[in-house]
Amino acid sequence: MHSDEKAPSHRWQATALTLMAIGLAGCSQPAVRGYQLQVVPEGFLYSANVTQGVNVFPDREILSQGMWLGDIQAFEPQSEIYVTRYVGNATLEQSQASRNVQATRYGNPASIDYGPVVPVTIDGQAAFAWMETRFDENDAVRSMKYTAAIPYDTVTYTVEFSTSVARRLHPDSLTRVVHSWGFGETVVLWGVIAKVGAVLAALVGLLVYKARG
């Protein structure tokens, strides 16, 4: 069989294993206190052990990284919230430089709009944020990503919320979640986890079936 014909099967298998790992991690999350999102969309699952391909501050040491995965009911992961903790206090200039690197990565195509870095207040801290919007061939919004850098005295957290789900494609939908960042306690809603776990199990089964087909 041609190598291109094998690739979809490998992608199905990789996706199934990734979703299974995230599902198990999400179901084992205890109630913990610390810096975290206070508002998380219903049904999102959390994994504390992830590695992101492209980081906001690639030159900084990463202390920890986690991800919320959501909107899997349609059998396709369509929303992600990455939370990364870096060493050091990021500045406005460094945030602008990061945004500019991202904006030039694909040659500034007309189908992608990178908004400016704007000062915001998150958890009582002076923070910096910007919006990335992608459009389809009809100039309709295809996806959005909102990134915030939240510096503290010795560390900087970044929160990146990206989605292609139609009902979330509005700036307020993303900023409400990201701006909820602060010190608090994660409360595990076991009923929600059980419901999403059932959907996840069905999804994994479907992916494995397709991988074998």
Residues of the chain with pLDDT below 70 are: 1-32, 74-77, 106-108, 185-213
pLDDT at 27: 42
pTM above 0.75, yes or no: no
Spatial distance between the Cα atoms of 119 and 90, rounded to a whole number of angstroms? 13
Q: What is the mean pLDDT of the chain?
A: 79
pLDDT in tens, 136-167: 888 899 999 999 999 999 999 999 999 999 99
Spatial distance between the Cα atoms of 163 and 90, rounded to a whole number of angstroms? 25
pLDDT at 26: 44
Delineate the domains of the chain, giving CATH numbers in brackets.
Answer: 30-187 (3.40.1000.10)
Q: Determine the Cα angle at 150 with ends 145 and 155, to 5°.
A: 130
